[in-house]
Structure 1
Amino acid sequence: MDVLVLGGGPAALCIASELNQRGVAVAGIAPDPVNDPWPNTYGIWADELKAVGLEHLLEHRWSDTVSYFGDGGSTVQDQSHAHGIDYGLFDRAALQRYWLERADGVVWHQDTAERVELNGATTSVSCVSGTTLQARLVIDASGSRTPHIRRPDQGPVAGQAAYGVVGRFSKPPIESGRFVLMDYRCDHLSEQQRSEPPTFLYAMDLGDGVFFVEETSLALAPGVPYDVLKQRLQQRLELRGVEITEVIHEEFCLFPMNLPLPDLRQPVLAFGGAASMVHPASGYMVGALLRRGPDLAQALAEALANPSLGSAALAQRGWQELWPMELVLRHQLYQFGLGRLMGFNETLLRTHFATFFSLPREEWFGFLTNTLPLPRLMAVMLRLFALSPWELRRGLVLGVSSAQSPIFRQSAG
């Protein structure tokens, strides 16, 4: 075969389908059937899907999209910040089906890759079952924890952790018909809890009396434990007199936010989480898969047309397309910004996001979707700095000392 894809999640299906559409001979190795239902929800700004013509893959869509950055206790602090842009939730089955239909003809081996080795012009993959498969190029799309992709060790990797519940409640936990991107109000927390790593509520009305509520930590190393997130979610609901009457689904998420870029010289290519494509500022990735998958597949299809190119040369062409210098520099800027935010206490973090979302919509949207060219991204970051109050500027430039921030102490330790 031309390409062997490792993994069976969104990244693997995306790149396999795009290559298949370009006439590339593709096969895959996945530990579970690739049509098994995906357990987690995937949200996206509707304009991201509009840009690629895939708005029909949304199961839910909200125009009433807001955040809260106060700490409760007064009318002003409880005011919502309207984002003025639609947000959507993927129909996971439809998204999966979309990629599987475009990957029609791809053979998926239900197995686990144990060893990946360069074998001259090709690469061989030895599986747990004893099977060995060979291809001109191997693409690892099996996630951020893959052992087959080399990357530098730059210290502890910060994870975005979340615990959520899809269910029914004694009364609506948020306003009907609303999507809440971030609710940083902390009036439900004790003084001790307010000195601990901040978390926020991510929530949406799914209709028919069903809501999804999720307590989320932006980023921390190690990640905030699920039991802490669950307790905080319960406290948040209890303060507002809300009880969970039926749990339809529980969600547990933990994924890396500041994973170093892979070694771009290695003869195995990566895509998705394995390629550090999770946005360091937002934690989102599906939009990037949909935008960048076609270009990567096209570059690989053109390179594969040259029969003299072996695994190393093909992977090099893929890495160049996936991580050109422009995107590497943007990634480094986002990593720097995340490092600063990880040191912020509750008050600074709320101030930061209130300031950030006061930027013009096209600027904060472009920042969160990684669609701003490098010069524009730098200009937006400078504008954000100019709008920030003095204490926030100090934290953005110098970081926050360990004496000021328990978050910094935990992540640094």
Structure 2
Amino acid sequence: MRETLVVVWWDRLVVGVVVVGGGPAGWALARACARRGHAVTLVAPGHRWHATYGVWADEARLLPPGSRWVTTRVRGGGRVLPREYAVLDNDSVLAACASPGIEVVRARATAMTAGSATLTTGEVRHGMVFDATGARRGEVEQTAYGVIVPEPREAVFMDWRQPTDGPATFLYAIPLPDGRMLLEETSLAREPGLGFDELRDRLHARLGEVTGPVERVRFPVDVPPPPRRARGPIRFGAAAGLVHPATGFSVADAFRLAPVVADTIGRGQRAVRRVIWPWRARLVYQLRMRGLATLLSLTATEHEEFFDLFFALPVRHQRAYLSGRTDVLGTVAAMTALFRAAPAHLRRKMIAS
């Protein structure tokens, strides 16, 4: 058992931190806290990232030195996108996050409070506990079924041409850092999420019988921010609702936010919760939920039309909506520009959402 650790080091408050969760968000936060002198314990059952993670190439600078990724131009909405896309080399990013100041405990947490975590191996008590174990169950899910193949193909962010009748899905085809290619049939947002068997059948209808290692994806895209006066462990990453409802991305925001959180820890839990979800981010979240409601109302044909219009917007609008988590004015401007460009039948759905 470990006692609560709070040490005054000259003019800086050094706090013991427990981060539960060994994904990108957990490691980003653990690294940032260790670099600021906090005593960090990271709790995770394993030491590998098996999912495929991507960020926009202009956000890759947020990753720690030593990280590697493969950058490519991708097609979306019938056009080549102005922003390049980066797929992370998981092992290099994980190695870059490691620090002598991080004690790694191979275990799972069975219970967490604001200041302690009960593990399968015992109990850890520290000054502050963070829950970075991933997104909680929501009503609207993104699901995907992918196959990794050895041969290169055209990189595609979203190909909304439908392989068969049925719910709207798109092809996500990206190069991996090891030279292989991930071909994934994705249901962007559905309540409940589309099943893997149907996604597999749609992928094969689109591309023929493709074989190779399989990747399955399922997570909610409508996890709300924690209440302003939340208690218990501080949620971070996807567990805190950082998942973008229009893409499913959260990794870049976790790496962007981790140093800010680490700098705030000495001011207490309330300050940390506020810095993760400032009022601007909460307002942008509400605007993005309006966008999600519009997506849920679209037919399969309208999905292709909608995203073709979005990816035709100036890059400043695309960047604001997809990456501007606290950019209220930029998000409003992007949504307004899309509304103006949309035909009447799409405008009606945007208004009704």
Query: Is TM more than 0.5 here?
Result: yes
Counterparts in 2 of 1:298-309, with a 5 A limit?
298-300=263-265, 302-303=266-267
Q: Is 1:28 aligned to 2:42, yes or no?
A: yes
The residue type equivalent to 1:37 in the other structure is R
Q: Which residue of 2 aligns with 1:199?
A: 169
Q: SS at the partner of 1:5? A: strand
Structure 2 Cα separation of the partners of residues 111 and 208 of structure 1? 30
Structure 2 Cα separation of the partners of residues 55 and 62 of structure 1? 20
Q: Which residue of 2 aligns with 1:182?
A: 158
Shift of 1:345: 0.7
**Cα offsets for 1:355-410 (capped at 9, x unmatched):** 111110121122111256212211221111111000000011114xxxxxxxxxxx
Structure 2 Cα separation of the partners of residues 15 and 90 of structure 1? 18
The residue type equivalent to 1:82 in the other structure is V
Q: 1:167 to 1:158 in 2, by over 3 A?
A: same
Q: Which residue of 1 aligns with 2:12?
A: none
Q: Is 1:368 aligned to 2:322, yes or no?
A: yes
Q: Which residue of 1 aligns with 2:75?
A: 66
Q: Which residue of 2 aligns with 1:49?
A: 60
Structure 2 Cα separation of the partners of residues 201 and 55 of structure 1? 32
Q: Which residue of 2 aligns with 1:113?
A: 109
Contact 2:88–2:177, Cα closer than 8 Å, also in 1 = no
Q: How many residues align?
A: 338
Q: Which residue of 2 aligns with 1:389?
A: 343
The residue type equivalent to 1:329 in the other structure is L
The residue type equivalent to 1:91 in the other structure is D
Q: Which residue of 2 aligns with 1:166?
A: 148
Equivalent in 196, 208, 225 of residue 261 of structure 1: 225
Q: Which residue of 1 aligns with 2:262?
A: 297
Structure 2 Cα separation of the partners of residues 379 and 360 of structure 1? 11
- Please give the TM-score of this superposition, normalised by the length of structure 1: 0.77
Q: SS at the partner of 1:126? A: strand
Q: Which residue of 2 aligns with 1:276?
A: 241
**Cα offsets for 1:12-53 (capped at 9, x unmatched):** 1110110000001111222x23xx321111111111124x37
Q: Which residue of 2 aligns with 1:349?
A: 303
Shift of 1:267: 4.0
Q: Which residue of 2 aligns with 1:306?
A: none
Q: 1:219 to 1:135 in 2, by over 3 A?
A: same
Shift of 1:209: 7.4
Shift of 1:144: 1.7
- Please give the TM-score of this superposition, normalised by the length of structure 2: 0.90
**Cα offsets for 1:292-343 (capped at 9, x unmatched):** 111111111x32xxxxxxxxxx221111111010000001110121012112
Structure 2 Cα separation of the partners of residues 329 and 85 of structure 1? 25
Q: CA RMSD in A?
A: 2.1
Contact 2:320–2:334, Cα closer than 8 Å, also in 1 = no
Q: Is 1:228 aligned to 2:228, yes or no?
A: no
Q: 1:201 to 1:318 in 2, by over 3 A?
A: same
Equivalent in 135, 140, 143 of residue 144 of structure 1: 135
Shift of 1:230: 0.5
Shift of 1:222: 1.2
Contact 1:46–1:55, Cα closer than 8 Å, also in 2 = no
Counterparts in 2 of 1:233-244, with a 5 A limit?
233-238=203-208, 243-244=209-210
The residue type equivalent to 1:291 in the other structure is R
The residue type equivalent to 2:174 in the other structure is M
Q: 1:362 to 1:55 in 2, by over 3 A?
A: farther
Please identify the structure whose Cα radius of gyration is greater: 1
Q: Which residue of 2 aligns with 1:126?
A: 118
Q: 1:267 to 1:392 in 2, by over 3 A?
A: same
Q: Which residue of 1 aligns with 2:331?
A: 377
Structure 2 Cα separation of the partners of residues 6 and 113 of structure 1? 7
Q: Which residue of 1 aligns with 2:26?
A: 12
The residue type equivalent to 2:220 in the other structure is P
Q: Is 1:3 aligned to 2:17, yes or no?
A: yes
**Cα offsets for 1:231-290 (capped at 9, x unmatched):** 00000012xxxx43x51x211111111112112321421111111111122110111011
Contact 2:139–2:191, Cα closer than 8 Å, also in 1 = yes
Structure 1 Cα separation of the partners of residues 80 and 299 of structure 2? 24
Q: 1:203 to 1:387 in 2, by over 3 A?
A: same
Shift of 1:229: 0.5
Identity of aligned residues (%): 32
The residue type equivalent to 2:54 in the other structure is G
Shift of 1:96: 0.6
Q: 1:383 to 1:105 in 2, by over 3 A?
A: same
Contact 1:49–1:55, Cα closer than 8 Å, also in 2 = no
Unaligned runs of 5+ in 2: 6-15
